[in-house]
Amino acid sequence: MNCSNCGVCCTETEMLLSKKDIERLEKQGYPKDYFVSYDRQGYAELKNHEGYCVFYDLKNCRCRVYVHRPAGCRVYPVILDEEKGIILDDICKSRNTISNVEKKNKGKRVIKLLKVIDSEAYDRRKRCGLSSK
């Protein structure tokens, strides 16, 4: 993929995080409460600040943690649409630079990642006695 660094995907992000993502970013010196929020279903999400991902450097139009970015960011713009399946996100200006092979490979990673994230959220709900609704 040839990213244009436009920052559209970093605007009002709803990126889900796995435990590995969180641990990797904590090892870089970022406290969890700086970049993680948990929703009512137990999902860990990347925080936004002033309309952008907390790690997006608006001045330089780049990710401050690119090498250590979350797995979901690594596979983007390949996403799962619950009705259409694995697709390329329409908001990505560089989506046409993704080959079908790359889309297929990243699609497999998306499915695997979402299973891990779902399992982790389920475990958090169970530990905290939260409803599954």
What is the pLDDT confidence band of residue 27, given thresholds at 50, 70 and 90? very high
**Tally of structural domains, the chain:** 1
Q: Is residue 1 part of a domain?
A: no
Q: Is residue 114 part of a domain?
A: yes
- pLDDT, averaged across the chain: 94
Q: Is residue 93 part of a domain?
A: yes
Q: Is residue 133 part of a domain?
A: no
Q: Is residue 84 part of a domain?
A: yes
Nearest to 116 by CA among 43, 48, 47, 53: 43
- pTM (2 d.p.): 0.90
Cβ-contact 80, 63 below 8 angstroms: no
- pLDDT of res. 128: 80
Q: Give buried/exposed letters for 86-101 (b at 16+ CB in 10 A, else e).
A: bebeeebebbeebeee
- pLDDT of res. 131: 61
Q: Is residue 54 part of a domain?
A: yes
pLDDT tens digit sequence for 70-93: 999 999 999 999 999 999 999 999
Element (H, E) at 23: helix 19-27
Q: Is residue 42 part of a domain?
A: yes
- pLDDT of res. 104: 97
What is the pLDDT confidence band of residue 132, given thresholds at 50, 70 and 90? low
- pLDDT of res. 38: 95
pLDDT tens digit sequence for 98-109: 999 999 999 999
- pLDDT of res. 129: 72
Q: Is residue 2 part of a domain?
A: no
Provide the domain limits for residue 28. Answer: 8-128
